[in-house]
Amino acid sequence: MLALGKLLELTLAGREPAQKIQLTVDGVQMRWLSEGALEVRPPQARDNGADVLLSSGIHGNETAPIELADRLLHGIARGEIKPRTRILFLFGNPEAMRRGERYLEQDVNRLFNGRHEQSIGPEAMRAAELEQLARTFFSVPDRSRLHYDLHTAIRGSKIEQFALYPFKEGRQHSRAELARLRAAGMEAVLLQNKTSITFTAFTYEQLGAESFTLELGKARPFGQNQGVDVSRLETRLIQIIEGNEPATDGLDGLKLFSVAREVIKHSDAFTLHLPADVENFSPLEKGYLLAEDIAKTRWVIEEEGARIIFPNPKVKNGLRAGILIVPTTDAGLV
Ligand SMILES: O=C(O)CCC(=O)N[C@@H](CCC(=O)O)C(=O)O
Ligand SMILES: [Zn+2]
């Protein structure tokens, strides 16, 4: 296999490849751009005009998505997967991946859309670099742009695999993209209704990509992801990359949610009234006291059909400590 197919090994070892550009037997170009960043380019005659950004390891301990990206890279480097799209593979936080931790000082996925400029440290620098890599990759005009940012969650989930779809004023969510996600095994999609500071929010809002954060199961160390079944996503990704995706139009039971409220932790006094092992998508009754914070702030459930995702009282002050979601319909899709 080409040495550049081993981007994960290189990244975990903190090494630069001796040769930065390599060609597969089919003339596919692999180009190392920077630590954890590799661009794949099909021969011009095979290029179908689509650009696909696949990021993983934005949180260093979320290894199933990293292993999935590694398998795709191996397949391309061996000539078994024959891309017709340009692809940018990004491992988001290499140092956190080496340490097996979510992040070192700051969560990279809270540093996009300008936030890194107000901050210092390794993660702020990495977020700036990731923005630049994505901006350059998506700068070629007249091509379709797709970004999947692959994650696994801290806790178990009543709905195992789901996507978060960013928001931009004046832009509507795409039914065709949701159908594609359903075919890739996603069971639910959360339609966001305000701007955000995540990587996918950046590529959606500023680079015009169709962008999704995909949650694929529970986070485990490298080699322990037998319980995370990414087979449907992997099949779909290969079809997207090879440009032979079967037509899909139905949402086929895909559950849709919208954000009712983001629960923001304001101070060290923040208390979340949920068991430590509560699962994502757990329902919450109207009237339930979810959380309390400084100055007698109380988070009481007012919404019918509310559920909680990503509850985390350990986040830094000022950040999201959970999202309250409610069911929604496909009425706003185009
Ligand atoms: O399990 C958790 O609490 C977090 C899992 C995770 O990393 N989720 C992403 C979602 C990003 C988004 O809102 O699009 C994150 O929190 O960064
Ligand atoms: Zn994550």
With a cut of 90, say whether residue 125 has pLDDT above it: yes
Q: Which residue type, as a one-letter code, is found at position 164?
A: L
Q: Which residue type, as a one-letter code, is found at position 68?
A: L
pLDDT tens per residue, range 246-305: 999 899 999 999 999 999 999 999 999 999 999 999 999 999 999 999 999 999 999 999
User: How far, in whole angstroms, is CA 282 from its chain's centroid?
Assistant: 22
Instruction: Answer yes or no: is 74 a known binding residue.
Output: no
> 198 in ligand 1 pocket by Cβ < 6 Å?
yes
Instruction: Answer yes or no: is 59 a known binding residue.
Output: yes
Which atom, in ligand 1's list, is nearest to the CA of 311?
Answer: 3
> 164 in ligand 1 pocket by Cβ < 6 Å?
yes
| Separation CA 185–CA 165 (nearest Å) | 15
Domains defined along the chain, listed by start: 3-242 (3.40.630.10), 263-327 (2.40.50.630)
- Residue closest via CA to ligand 1's atom 3 equals 310
ipTM exceeding 0.95? Answer: yes
Encoded tokens for 56: 């993983």
Mean pLDDT calculated for residue range 145-173 = 98
Q: Which residue has the tokens 């559950």?
A: 255
> 106 in ligand 1 pocket by Cβ < 6 Å?
no
What is the chain's length?
Answer: 334
Among 151, 196, 323, which is best to mutate for testing ligand 1, by the most ligand atoms less than 8 A from CB?
A: 151
| Separation CA 81–CA 61 (nearest Å) | 27
| Separation CA 124–CA 110 (nearest Å) | 9
Mean pLDDT of the chain: 98
List the one residue out of 241, 238, 215 whose CA is nearest residue 228. Answer: 215
Q: How far is the CA of 49 from the centre of ligand 1 (A)?
A: 30
The pLDDT value recorded for residue 78 is 97
The pLDDT value recorded for residue 313 is 97
> 157 in ligand 1 pocket by Cβ < 6 Å?
no
pTM: 0.98
Mean pLDDT calculated for residue range 141-167 = 98
Q: How far is the CA of 46 from the centre of ligand 2 (A)?
A: 34
List the one residue out of 85, 94, 10 whose CA is nearest residue 43. Answer: 85
Question: Catalytic: 215?
Answer: yes
| Separation CA 304–CA 96 (nearest Å) | 39
3-state secondary structure of 44: helix
With a cut of 90, say whether residue 168 has pLDDT above it: yes
Quickly list H helices, the chain.
7-13, 63-77, 94-99, 122-137, 175-183, 199-207, 231-242
Which ligand sits nearest to residue 148's alpha carbon?
1
- % of the chain beyond a pLDDT of 70: 100
pLDDT tens per residue, range 5-48: 999 999 999 999 999 999 999 999 999 999 999 999 999 999 99
Dihedral through CA 240, CA 245, CA 249, CA 253, nearest 10? -70
Q: Pick the catalytic residue: 95, 215, 234, 262?
A: 215
The pLDDT value recorded for residue 300 is 98
The pLDDT value recorded for residue 249 is 82
Mean pLDDT calculated for residue range 172-183 = 98
CB 281 within 8 A of CB 216: no
- Residue closest via CA to ligand 1's atom 5 equals 153
Please name the helix (run of DSSP H) or strand (run of DSSP E) that holds residue 293, with its range, or none: strand 289-293
pLDDT tens per residue, range 52-72: 999 999 999 999 999 999 999
CB 308 within 8 A of CB 320: no
Instruction: Answer yes or no: is 151 a known binding residue.
Output: yes
> 103 in ligand 1 pocket by Cβ < 6 Å?
no
With a cut of 90, say whether residue 96 has pLDDT above it: yes
> 56 in ligand 1 pocket by Cβ < 6 Å?
no
Among 56, 58, 59, 62, which is best to mutate for testing ligand 1, by the most ligand atoms less than 8 A from CB?
A: 59
> 24 in ligand 1 pocket by Cβ < 6 Å?
no
